[in-house]
Amino acid sequence: MKRIAIIGGGISGLSAAYTIEEKRQSGTPIEYVLLESSPRLGGVLVTDRVDGCLVEAGPDSFITEKPWAADLCRKIGLGDQLIGSNDSERKTYILARGKLVVMPDGLMFMVPTKIMPTVLSPLFSWRTKMRMAAEWFHPPHKASEDETVAGMVERHYGSEMVDLLADPLLSGVYGGEASQLSVRAVLPRFADMELKYGSLGRAMLAARKKIGGAANGPPKPLFTSLKDGMQAMVDALVARLDPNALKTSSPVQSVIQQDNGWTVSAGYQTDQFDAVIIATPTHAAAAVLQAADENLSRDLGDIKYSSSVTVTLGYDEKVRASLPPGFGFLVPRSAGHRMLAATFVHNKFPHRAPENRAIVRCFLGGARDEQILQSSEEEILQIVRDELRQIIGLNAEPLFARVYKWKSAMAQYSVGHLERLQRIELLRQKLPGLALAGNGYSGIGVPDCVRSGAEAAGKILAEMGMWSAA
Ligand SMILES: Cc1cc2nc3c(=O)[nH]c(=O)nc-3n(C[C@H](O)[C@H](O)[C@H](O)COP(=O)(O)OP(=O)(O)OC[C@H]3O[C@@H](n4cnc5c(N)ncnc54)[C@H](O)[C@@H]3O)c2cc1C
């Protein structure tokens, strides 16, 4: 019987455990133990129910284009729970010059693909609009060093595009800054498009035509989620795992390679395993691997993380009627607020709020505002309420409010991230029986984490000669 330890019970660790559990149930002689430091499983996936509303503390959905999370949901019996975002209401605003301005139709991420809506939009200055026109003739780019997203976007569209779109969009997804994040790690498609076409606008149009030509049926919604919230995924996974294998409140201090296997120490307990999957943020992986391999630990520790805070406010039907239509708004740093973005949840996922309720979910923190974590919940609520008053004139008293703090939870893929990953992989290969999963490597979203957990388990099973055993 081979034994595998999985460290970390977020979605990455649970996905690894589920892959192993499937093998175990098909008769493969294998057992696993999942060690999670906190008293609950799921990591940042937490759903609360308040006043008839569904409140997501962490992720609220995942992008449909990446299939791994939805595929896993289908496998674990949640196929009929999958829902799409209400894209007929999709409209996102940017706070520009003190007003909410709708993002023009045809913007794909930050690349304009439709001329008229962009020309007529009050969002951009004429100078930026001229840059957008000129971008069409951008020559193909020679492969060169990695650069920041801000660097690339500025070369194509100028600094206003970085301030109004690139930076706020990346704050929303990564809690990061366009001036730090690596274009090759965060937007690899952009780097490839530039290499082939030069112009990102022309490349996007070509990609859209190709997808349009191949697509059957209506377009898929941009975001997918679960009717009962993201926590449903955690609950369904946990229900399918061996209950004796799940050890919560078990913080792992170290993993050390010993006697053809691994010794895992958690609290006063040590246990022997044939293999270990570390599915924690990389700063935690660095700490537990310190004694096993200093160089690996250093590279893992060098991957930076940012912290975030989500605040959900519930309101009555009068407020609901007064709020703008659409999914919500992004706040560029230059606007001078601490809020990074807000979602009108009742529009994005209507069944998450009864018709007489509005839900506004606000995001704060990120790489430039770590100190928000030092503020009390009352102080954070005060900041959010003041800023909602200034931005959308929302004065009403909320019916409920929830504040969630996530310390060092969002990996920042800075320039050079891909080279660091190569070094990490080479060092890992020298440690048989070790696999790494989580949001610090090649994708921060839930689908990528699901994939990374399953791949890590696959690697270990393959090393043990068990991958084709089912
Ligand atoms: C506020 C927020 C909003 C987000 N929104 C979205 C979104 O809308 N869509 C999307 O796709 N993604 C979103 N993300 C990103 C995505 O949710 C995460 O990247 C992903 O869920 C991370 O999963 P994970 O299992 O790798 O890590 P985590 O969820 O961080 O889990 C890691 C687990 O490891 C445990 N652990 C750490 N150290 C140890 C140790 N020494 N011993 C034992 N256990 C340990 C921790 O307690 C934790 O439970 C969001 C993230 C946040 C924070």
DSSP character for 219?
A: P
pLDDT at 469: 44
> For residue 367, what are its two tokens?
């790489």
What distance in angstroms lies between residue 441's CA and the mean position of ligand 1's atoms?
13
- The CB of 172 under 6 Å from ligand 1? The reply is no
pLDDT in tens, 101-112: 999 888 887 788
Positive or negative, the Cα torsion across 299, 302, 303, 309?
positive
Average pLDDT over residues 319-323: 97
Summary mean pLDDT of the chain: 93
Report CA(389)–ligand 1 centroid distance (Å): 31
pLDDT tens digits, 166-179: 999 998 888 899 99
Atom of ligand 1 nearest to the CA of 449: 26
Q: What angle do CA 343, 120, 338 make, to 5 degrees?
A: 30
| Ramachandran angles phi, psi of 101, nearest 5° | -115, 130
Residue nearest ligand 1's atom 14 by CA: 59
Please answer whether residues 405 and 307 qualify as being in contact, where contact means their C-beta atoms are separated by less than 8 angstroms.
yes
In Å, how far from its chain's centre is CA 298?
A: 24
Q: Is domain 305-411 classified as CATH 3.90.660.20?
A: yes
Q: What is the pLDDT at residue 307? A: 96
Q: Is the pLDDT of residue 266 over 70?
A: yes
At 414, list the tokens.
Answer: 């800075």
d(CA 122, CA 245): 57
Q: What is the pLDDT of residue 145?
A: 84
Distance in Å, CA 53 to ligand 1 centroid? 23
303 SS3 class: coil
- 13 touches ligand 1 (CB under 6 Å): yes
Q: Is the pLDDT of residue 3 over 60?
A: yes
Task: Tell how far the Cα of 438 is from the centroid of ligand 1, in angstroms.
Answer: 8
Distance CA 44, CA 59 (A): 7
What is the model's pLDDT at position 260? 85
pLDDT for 280 equals: 98
User: Domain spanning 2-43+233-303+413-463 has what CATH number?
Assistant: 3.50.50.60
Domain residue ranges of the chain, discontinuous segments joined by +: 2-43+233-303+413-463, 107-214, 305-411
Pocket lining: 60 vs ligand 1, CB cutoff 6 Å: yes
- 163 DSSP assignment: I
pLDDT of residue 390: 97
CA nearest neighbour of 17 among 284, 277, 285, 264: 277
Cβ of 157 less than 6 Å from ligand 1: no
Using the predicted structure, report yes or no on whether residue 216 has a pLDDT greater than 80: no
pLDDT digits (tens, 9 = 90+) for 59-83: 999 999 999 999 999 999 999 999 9
Q: Is the Cβ atom of 241 under 6 angstroms away from ligand 1?
A: no
Q: With cut-offs at 50, 70 and 90, classify the pLDDT of residue 470.
A: very low
- Say how far apart CA 230 and CA 227 lie, in whole Å: 8
CATH of domain 107-214: 1.10.3110.10
Q: Give pLDDT, residue 466.
A: 87
Average pLDDT score over residue span 460-465: 94
Q: Residue whose CA is closest, atom 2 of ligand 1? A: 58
- Inter-residue contact 300 to 383 (CB < 8 Å): no
* pLDDT of amino acid 213: 58
- In 3D space, the residue among 308, 409, 327, 332 whose CA is nearest the CA of residue 150 turns out to be 332
> Whose C-alpha lies nearest to ligand 1, atom 50?
59
Q: What is the pLDDT of residue 212?
A: 61
- Taking the CA atoms of residue 59, residue 62, residue 66 and residue 72 in that order, the dihedral angle to the nearest 10 degrees is 80
In this prediction, residue 113 carries a pLDDT of 82
Q: How far is the CA of 44 from the centre of ligand 1 (A)?
A: 4
CB 277 within 8 A of CB 7: yes
Cβ–ligand 1 contact at 229 (below 6 Å) = no
Q: Which of 44, 60, 282, 380 to mutate to test the pocket of ligand 1 (most atoms within 8 A of CB)?
A: 44
Q: pLDDT tens, 401-455? A: 999 999 999 999 999 999 999 999 999 999 999 999 999 999 999 999 999 999 9
Q: How remote is the CA of residue 40 from the centroid of ligand 1, in Å?
A: 12
Residue 115 binned pLDDT confidence (cut-offs 50, 70, 90):
confident
